[in-house]
Structures are given as structure tokens and as C-alpha cells.
Amino acid sequence: MATHKDMASYKIAQLEDLSEAELEGFIMSNAGTDDARFVLGRLMIEGSSDKVEKNENKGLNWLKEAVKKGHQPSVEYKTYWDIRFDRQPKLERIRANLEEAVREADSTRAANTLAELNHASSGGNAESLANLTPEARKAAEAAKAIAAQYYMISAVQGDVVGMHWIGVFYHEGFGVAKVMDKAIDFLTKASNEGNGQSFYQLYLIHSGKEGQD
């Protein structure tokens, strides 16, 4: 049986193979790590291990301990739990946590979520924007640019969602200048990964039906 000193060098995947008692004993020892708190909390919440009993409340408490210490995987996991299950999610805190996940951990998932949040608040098409107040229109235009920024971060990391949407943005001039070569490049990469929406967008471009959705 591994000692607590041995466990201190374990990666998250190795910790996931431990039992609830082993993880709790390790956490309580001087060698305990926030990785262990994260793993035990997540396994308790998800009930995905036959070695750890499902207990959502207890799991959340372990996660919160790791979050207080700035443990990035715990912060990101708890943020997505809040998005899905918190009855009154604190949007500003969620945004801040996602931004930290992108900045500190290069999280593609967080980048895509931030892009989606800004995309959704960008005011829609030109006709919709025309009906907004000047202040609201300015905020919507800023949201477009931020959405493009985060989709680009995701695309550079090779994520198909990011590649598709930054391709669409370059195609439509949404949040970025309209640059067809870049649109085709990103959409082709996403299409090659099996994304059907990207394939359709390429059809619109090559058929001369730009701007149609």
C-alpha cells in the first residue's frame, strides 16, 4: 500500500484509483494535496467510482476547500457546477473564474464558454443592433470582439468549436475584419475534423452565398 509520502507525487489520474478512505487519510496527513481534495470532491459529486461513495454535499465541501486555496482544476470544476446547478448563479464571479482558467491553465473549455457568453450578448445582426441605444450598441460591439478573442484562443489550441466559430466570424466580419482567406483556413481545419457546420459554411462561401446561415 502506498504511503502518504508516495501519494504526494501522484498525478490526478493516479489519485482517482484510490479509495475514499485512502484519499481522506492522505488529505488529513501533512502530505495531503489540493489535487486529492479535488479528486475526492469530484468523485463524490459524480458517483463515478466504485471506491468512493456518492455524496454531493460532502464532495462540494472538499472542492470548496481546494477552491479557497486557488486550486485551478477545482475552481474550474466548481464554476461549471455553479453554471449548471446553482439556482442563483453569480455571473460576474463565473466570468472571473473562467477568465482565470484561460489565463492560468489555457483552458479551451473556459475560452469557449466565455466566447459563447459574449456571443449571446452581442446583440445579433445589424438590424437588431440598429434598434439599440448608443450605449447598448457599443457594449454589443465590444462583446463581439471579446467573443472573437476567446474563439481565437480556442482555435489556436486546435479545438474544433473555436476553429469553426472564428472561421464564421471572419466570414461574416463579426467581431473581426472580414478576411475570407482566414475564414476558409479555419473552417477547412474544422471541417477536416468532421464538423458538418463548417462544411456547410464552406459551401456558402464557395457557392457565392455568403452571409446565409
- Say what the alpha-carbon torsion angle 37, 38, 41, 42 is, to the nearest 10 degrees: -160
% of the chain with per-residue pLDDT over 90 = 74
Amino acid type, 108: T
User: Looking at residues 137-144, what average pLDDT do you find?
Assistant: 87
Answer whether residue 54 shows pLDDT above 90.
Answer: yes
Which grid coordinates belong to 97?
Answer: 473564474
Contact status, residue 183 vs residue 205, Cβ threshold 8 Å: yes
Give the C-alpha separation, 25 to 16, whole Å: 14
The confidence band for 141, taking pLDDT boundaries of 50, 70 and 90, is confident
Answer whether residue 5 shows pLDDT above 90.
Answer: no
Q: What pLDDT, in 10s, does the model give residues 7-40? A: 788 899 999 999 999 999 999 987 778 999 999 9
Among the listed residues 46, 48, 23, 22, the one whose alpha carbon sits nearest the alpha carbon of residue 34: 23
Distance of CA 34 to the CA centre of its chain: 21
Mean pLDDT of all residues belonging to the chain: 90
Supply the pTM of this predicted model: 0.82
Give the C-alpha separation, 16 to 73, whole Å: 14
Q: What pLDDT, in 10s, does the model give residues 56-74? A: 999 999 999 999 999 999 9
User: Looking at residues 166-191, what average pLDDT do you find?
Assistant: 95
Angle at 68 between CA 66 and CA 70, to 5 degrees: 75
Which grid coordinates belong to 192?
Answer: 477536416
Query: What pLDDT does residue 196 have?
Result: 95
Q: What pLDDT, in 10s, does the model give residues 76-121? A: 999 999 999 988 989 899 999 999 999 999 999 999 999 999 998 8
- Domains of the chain are 110-213 (1.25.40.10)
